[in-house]
């Protein structure tokens, strides 16, 4: 085996980074409309994936959807009829803004501080630190 073949083989054995990334998926809302309310049945699961408090996600959604919400155990109750597609767009945006690291695209971040309308986010995977303007 010559050098180039060895190199080729070494490359093939490297873990595929883009494949590793796809392990993480932004969760989708398991929602249903009941009368004039929308119930997101998997709020706890979404919070789990985000590693944030249910309250924090509820606060974001109430602002984005301009509707009052309450938390009932594992679920989020929105006092409005919201389409699941709209909900998923908001959740996706939340993850892109506050959860997924801007540098390494991993979801291993936590909020360091919230001040003057900005949230400071720290990535535990790569150490990146950045601020996001609160909507
Ligand atoms: Zn990172």
- Ion ligand 1, residue ranges at CB < 5 A: 101, 103-104, 123, 125-126, 128
Q: Tell me how far the alpha carbon of residue 36 lies from the centroid of ligand 1, in angstroms.
A: 40
Ligand 1 centroid vs 125 CA: distance in angstroms?
A: 5
Q: Which of 34, 40, 27 is nearest to 94 (CA)?
A: 27
Are 38 and 78 contacting, i.e. CB atoms less than 8 angstroms apart? yes
* CA pair distance 86, 134, nearest whole angstrom: 20
What spacing in Å lies between the alpha carbon of 130 and ligand 1's midpoint?
10
**Residue 81 DSSP SS3:** coil
How many Å apart are CA 68 and CA 71, to the nearest integer? Answer: 11
Cα–Cα dist 66/79, whole Å: 10
Q: What is the pLDDT along the chain (135 residues), one digit of tens a residue?
A: 777 787 777 767 665 555 455 578 999 999 999 999 999 999 999 999 999 999 999 999 999 999 999 999 999 999 999 999 999 999 999 999 999 999 999 999 999 999 999 999 999 999 999 999 987
């Amino acid at each position: 085996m010559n050098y180039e073949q060895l190199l080729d083989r070494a490359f093939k054995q490297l873990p595929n980074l883009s494949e590793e990334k796809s392990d993480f998926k932004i969760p989708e809302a398991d929602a249903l409309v009941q009368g004039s309310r929308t119930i997101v049945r998997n709020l706890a699961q979404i919070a789990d994936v985000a590693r944030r408090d249910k309250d924090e996600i509820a606060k974001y959604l109430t602002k984005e959807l301009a509707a009052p919400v309450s938390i009932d155990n594992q679920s989020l109750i929105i006092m409005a009829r919201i389409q699941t597609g709209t909900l998923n767009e908001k959740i996706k945006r939340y993850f892109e803004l506050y959860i997924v690291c801007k540098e390494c695209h991993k979801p291993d971040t936590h909020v360091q501080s919230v001040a003057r309308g900005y949230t400071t986010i720290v990535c535990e995977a790569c150490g990146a630190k950045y601020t996001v303007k609160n909507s």
